[in-house]
Amino acid sequence: MSVLRDALAVARLESGLLARFPRFRLSLAGIVLIPALYALIYLESVWDPASRTGALPAVIVNLDQGARFHGTQVHLGEELSRTL
């Protein structure tokens, strides 16, 4: 229980410091918000990105004119467009 009482005493002292020096509020906000912003960006990037691929806009432009490979005319762009 002594640890909790000491923590509350420190919190009271710190709140008095913030009331006395308003500039510390800005630095405290930066200390809290900047790491939270980094954590949010990181977690959004790794939080199951495969579940959101349907929301990604995609366009297929087929300007393929084909190519001759071993005597056979191949149109990969047309085949890809048909498949998708």
Q: What's the pLDDT score for residue 4?
A: 93
Among 69, 68, 65, residue whose Cα is nearest residue 77: 65
What stretch of H or E contains 69? strand 67-69
Helices (H), 21-63: 23-46
Whole-number pLDDT of residue 12: 93
Q: Which two tokens stand for residue 33?
A: 């918000």
> Tell me: the pLDDT tens digits for 23-76?
888 898 899 999 999 999 998 888 776 777 787 888 888 788 888 889 888 888
- What per-residue confidence (pLDDT) applies to 9? 94
Question: Taking 80 as the threshold, does the pLDDT of residue 1 lie above it?
Answer: no
